Each structure stands twice: as C-alpha cells, then as structure tokens.
Amino acid sequence: MTERMKTVWLLAARGAAAVVFGVLTLLWPQLTVLALAWVFGAYALVDGVMLLGTAWRHRHERRSAATCAAAGTLGVAAGLITAVWPGLTALALLVVAGAWAIVTGCLELWVATRMRHELRHAWWWRASAAASVAAGALLWLRPEAGAVAIALVLGIYALIAGGLWLAAAWGEYRTRPGRDARSWAEPASGVRVAH
C-alpha cells in the first residue's frame, strides 16, 4: 500500500470513529454518565492510538511526530482514565473531556500553522482544531452541565471533526499522482509529514 493510501485510510478511520461516537451520543443523549464515559473513553483511545501510529510512521520528522505523539498520548490517557475510573461524576468527565479537546485542538492547530506551506489541506486541520478547542471551552464554561449537555456538545463536535477528517480523506483519495497539486503526505521537499 502506498504512503498516500495509508494516509487516506488513517484519515478515514479517524473520521469514521468520530462520526460513530457523535451519532451514538446524539441518538442517546440521555446516556448515564457511566455510559457516556465508556463511549467517550473508547473514542479517545482509538483516536489516540491512530495518532501514535501516525507519529511512529513519520518519526523522522521530529517536531511533527512529537506533536502527533503528544496528542495521541493524551487521547490514550483520556481513554484509560475513563476505563480505570468508570464511576466518574459528570464534573470529572467534563474536566477530562474538556482538557482532551482543548489540548488536542491546540496541538493540531500548531501543526497546521507550522506546516501550512507543506500541507495541501492545512485548513482541514485548522477547522478540526478549532472545533476541538470550541467544544472543550464550551464544556469548561458550563461546569454544572449534566450528562445530556456533555453528550450534546461532544456529539456535535465529533460529527463536525469526523466530517472534516472524512472530507480530507476523500480529497486525498481523489488526488491523482502526477498532478501539480502536492499531496499533503508528500510536500514539495519530498519529506513526509505527520498527520
């Protein structure tokens, strides 16, 4: 499988995981805090593992790989926290989910800004990062929110982010080798970048 197709599948898998999480939380917003913690934990864990895999694949690009690894580690940590302490209160879940969304969004925004000339679709990254930070800020601004409010904010965020990642995967898939447009996995310098 070519590097471009690996990128397509990675983006598609990340987007699909986000959409599934978003649909589950919006279809059943009355989820208990326990169920919401499990669903969020599973999503954060999957997203984190995918980011760690990306960091490993692009480990020669130190700064980008380190940023992906940091975001991936945060996702895995958030997933494990909800698994180890399944009896989280709504407030504890809000703090964990908010921190995960804000820090992950900031890291993605940093990558998108730093590599805006190399990434063909850097605006996908920026839009996803902005949605992540906004979701985290909304959660932290309303610490008294219950499970239903948390589910709605996380669900809407996940659908937006998942849609952006799926659109990015489709755009990358439609890129034909040999065109003048650079693949965002293959910048002009020929050096691969982390996603």
Q: Does residue 38 lie within any of the structural domains?
A: yes
Integer Cα distance of 190 and 182 in angstroms: 10
- 168 exposure class (CB count in 10 Å sphere: 0-12, 13-18, 19+): buried
What is the domain count for the chain? 1
Domain presence at residue 180: no
Bridge partner list, 183: 186
Nearest CA-CA partner of 78 in 95, 98, 100, 94 = 100
Query: CA-CA distances (angstroms) from residue 133 to 58, 60, 107, 193?
Result: 25, 28, 10, 23
Q: Is residue 194 part of a domain?
A: no
- 149-159 tens-digit pLDDT: 888 898 999 99
| pLDDT surpasses 60 at 183 | no
So what's the pLDDT on residue 81? 87
Residue 192, domain member (yes or no) = no
Domain range for 24 is: 3-174
Distance in angstroms (rounded) separating the CA atoms of residues 185 and 195:
8
Mean pLDDT, rounded, for 179-194: 42
Specify the CATH number for the domain of residue 58.
Answer: 1.25.40
The Cα 42–Cα 40 span in angstroms is 5
| Alpha-carbon gap, residue 93 to 43, rounded angstroms | 14
Q: Is residue 152 part of a domain?
A: yes
In a domain, 69, yes or no: yes
How large is the average pLDDT for residues 97-111?
Answer: 88
Tens digit of pLDDT for each residue in 56-88?
877 777 777 788 889 899 999 998 888 788 676
Specify which residues 186 forms β-bridges with: 183
Q: Does 34 fall in a domain?
A: yes
For 172-181, how does the pLDDT look when each residue is reduced to its tens digit (9 = 90+)?
A: 788 755 444 4
